Structure 1
Amino acid sequence: MSSSPDVPARRSGGDLADYVSLLRRRRLIVLSMLLAGTGGGLALLWATPASYTASAQVLVTPAGPQEQVNQVTARQREPLNLDTEAQIARSAVVAARARGLFGGLSGPAEVSVPPNTSVLEISCTAAAPATAASCADAYALAYLAQRRESSTQTLTAQLKAVLVKLKQVNASLTTVATTLPGLGNGTAERALALQRQNVLLRQVHALTARYDALRTVAVTPGSVISRPVAPTEPRAPRPPLYLGSGLMTGLLCGVGCAWIRDRLDTTLRDTADVRRLTGLEAVDDEGLRGLGGAVLVVSVPGTPPREVRRAARALRERGVPVAGTLLTGGAFSPSAVQSPHTPRADGIVPSGRTVAGGRRGRLP
């Protein structure tokens, strides 16, 4: 049989039962794609090398004067700018120091800042657990060494600047002190010299206090509060992720291929295929015998006449009375077959095959 313009073919889709029927008809395609996707996930899981991650926690403390401070917010309640410190910890300078401490660095470290803390969490990923732990430990020590060196250099530069300024003020004070005896009492020059001497004395006092304060500053870059431990399980690959991804990919590909194959397949295997592909009702052998009258074989143009005779002969062999065949000159219309004025004529059946009696056929 063939679908006609007057009777639109009913394709699967729209109802849950249609999708279930589609999956049942194309279960081999779905199962094969499902197995292929799962196998691909297993192969990718087997081919991906294992990686281990170890972490070290570093408590960052103010190391000296003029520390870069951060605005206190709901996320960061500590005065230190830990976002800047995190960037320093993953910088190339720290990486070079860490490589000097441990030459087997596999890549850059990952640095994170837990909220509301003054802690940096430094993580390293490597192919071996011991390598990952050593890498994280090397990065933590290298960061603290870099922070100590930077703070010491800053403190030394400040001490030198204060000392230079103090020497300049002392030199000016000495000059003023040597000129005072030669100035007469009550003169304006002596009054200005005395005022300048007092200002220089106050500067000397302030600079001396500043210098003494800087000399007593202790450089405390921080400390490692949690040493990295070699992990016992790999971080990647994760079997559930790979297997689940392969399973879902195979299922989606299987459903898509099944839907495309079902749309392109016009093979008639049973009466259900006739109703699904043409939208017409079909009967089997028992239904034909129970019609209570003769059967008219209707055709569409394009099929050899011998197929008409073969279809009619197959029906007669099954005990079904055949009134004749009808050749439609144009598009097939079921209403024309049901008309009481339908002429009796020899014609052609679609593709020369009929579903009645369980024979297979294919829509043209």
Structure 2
Amino acid sequence: MTQPQGTDLAEHLALLRRRKLLFSGCLLLGVMTSGALCYLLPPQYTATTQVLVAPTGVQEQNNQVTPRQRESLNLDTEAQIAQSAVVRSKAAQATGSTTIAPPAITVPPNSAVLSIAVTTGDPAAAAAQSKAYADAYLANRTETAEAELAARLKTLYAKLKQVNSSLGDVVEDIEKLTKGSAERTIATHRQNVLSRQAASLTAKYDSLKTVAVTPGTVISQAVPPAEPSSPSIPMLLGTGLMAGLLAGVGTAYLRDRLDTRLRTAADVERLTGLPVLADFTGDVDLHDLTSSLVASCPDQRLLVRAVPNRPHEPLPVELALLDGSDVRDLSRADAAILLITLRQATSQQVAAAVRHLQRHRVSVVGVVAHGASPAQVDSAPKALETVPIPVVPDSP
């Protein structure tokens, strides 16, 4: 006998109604916890500086321009540089502080803009640190570009100097060679090649000498925020409400699945699947009870089995001829009813009693439930003794 697994919405709602105290407690706990966090968490302020990144004029990591990527600059790489340790050290020096909050770098889609946001407990400090990060990033970008430009100029100058020296040596050799000779022809060809190399290197050198390094500009200065960015009261309350809701539902389902105690007649039918013929926790119509038993078991001997089973305790009701006191009752019984004491019996005990009766080929026709209070137990026999159930006597 297993607990039915309902998938209908009404069954889930019924489960929550049964565990409404547990569900409401978890929900209230989640809301109260989020409210406490709103009160205890210190306010945080976020200031943002926007930087328009421009090509520096020297070779950089570029993206292929496509309909999805309209900027040639690799802004993902620049975002990592903006939050690197070098830039952070420069920003700390600019603010005169040994500790500085880490920035949050974002890149708007299809743009060459870096949004540098800093969150601290002081709005003025947040704005100052965000501006310091932007200035440090641009300064580092300028230094990197100028260093690369200087290295390229130095390399070009060394190559140009080498080509000019070789060209001078070739010119001197040509004057010493005989006109029309093969050696002079080769030397003349080499002179032309070196002349073209020198002209190309000179053009590149002059072009780099005129390059103006443009790292970018600040297009939006950070200002001290007037309102804190966190904690967000709606977000915390919504999170607490959702967490409490999920915890309440999960706890209610777990508690309902693990709790097998039968507290009401509805629990008996829900957890055991047996029909409840009468419920003595409230008003009961004895005429209807007698009619139901007779209709359920016409011309049959009924056995009453108490759950939980107390062999030395007399049954609180006289519903049948057989009460289990005689060892032959199981063999003589045609059918059985279970007398369940609510708030004491469990579904496992009912299942064990049903299995025991079925092994002796005695079918269970239903359940009679009664409360565990002494007043209800004492009043039950007096009410039922006046309405006997017809029973067929033993055959000779």
TM-score, normalised on structure 1? 0.76
Does residue 288 in structure 1 map to residue 286 in structure 2?
yes
Equivalence for 1:58: 51
After TM superposition, list the pairs within 5 Å mapping 1:203-242 onto structure 2: 203-242=197-236
Contact 2:131–2:222 (CA<8 Å) still a contact in 1? yes
Aligned to 2:310: 303
Letter in 2 for 1:282: L
Whole-angstrom CA distance in 1 between matches of 2:53 and 2:123 = 26
CA spacing shift, 1:147–1:82, aligned 2, 3 Å: same
Please say if residues 173 and 201 of structure 1, whose CA atoms lie closer than 8 Å, have aligned partners that are also in contact.
Answer: yes
Contact 1:294/1:323 (8 A) holds in 2: no
- In structure 2, the residue matched to 1:158 is 152
SS in 2 for 1:300: strand
Distance in 2 (CA, whole Å) between partners of 1:298 and 1:207 is 112
1:303–1:349 contact (8 Å) kept in structure 2: no
Q: Partner residue of 2:196?
A: 202
Give 3-state SS (helix, strand or coil) of 1:123's partner. strand
Cα RMSD for the two superposed structures: 3.6
Deviations, residues 256-277 of structure 1 (Å, cap 9, x unaligned): 44344445252445x4444445
Q: 2-side partners of 1:227 and 1:19: how far apart?
A: 55
Instruction: Report whether the alignment pairs 1:119 with 2:113.
Output: yes
- Provide Cα deviations, 1:50-83, integer angstroms capped at 9, x if missing partner: 3332222211212123233221233322222222
The offset of 1:152, in angstroms, is 0.8
What is the deviation of 1:149?
0.7
Deviations 1:165-208 (A, max 9, x none): 22222222333333444434333343333333333333332222
Alignment of 1:1-364 (within 5 A): 13-104=6-97, 105-263=99-257, 264-269=259-264, 271-278=265-272, 279-283=274-278, 284-288=282-286, 298-300=304-306, 302-308=309-315, 311-312=316-317, 326-328=322-324, 336-337=335-336, 350-351=340-341, 355=369
Residue 391 of structure 2 aligns with which residue? Answer: none
Alignment CA distance shift 1:300-1:126 (3 Å):
same
Aligned to 2:297: none
Shift of 1:293: 7.7
Residues 43 and 121, structure 2, Cα contact 8 Å, conserved in 1: yes
- Between the aligned residues of both structures, percent identity stands at 46
Measure, in 1, the Cα distance between the counterparts of 2:113 and 2:77. Answer: 13
Amino acid at match of 2:322: L
Instruction: Give the CA deviation at 1:145.
Output: 0.6
Deviation at 1:41, TM superposition (A): 2.1
Aligned length: 333
Relative to structure 1, is the Cα distance of residues 216 and 189 closer, same or farther in structure 2, using a 3 angstrom cutoff? Answer: same
Range 295-304 or range 171-180, more displaced: 295-304
Q: 1:118, 1:331 → 2: CA distance? A: 89
Listed one character per residue, the Cα deviations across residues 225-276 of structure 1 (whole Å, up to 9, x for unaligned) are: 112233333333322332223223323333344344445252445x444444
CA–CA separation in structure 1 for the residues paired with 2:5 and 2:214: 74
Q: Report if the CA contact (8 A) 2:47-2:222 is conserved.
A: yes
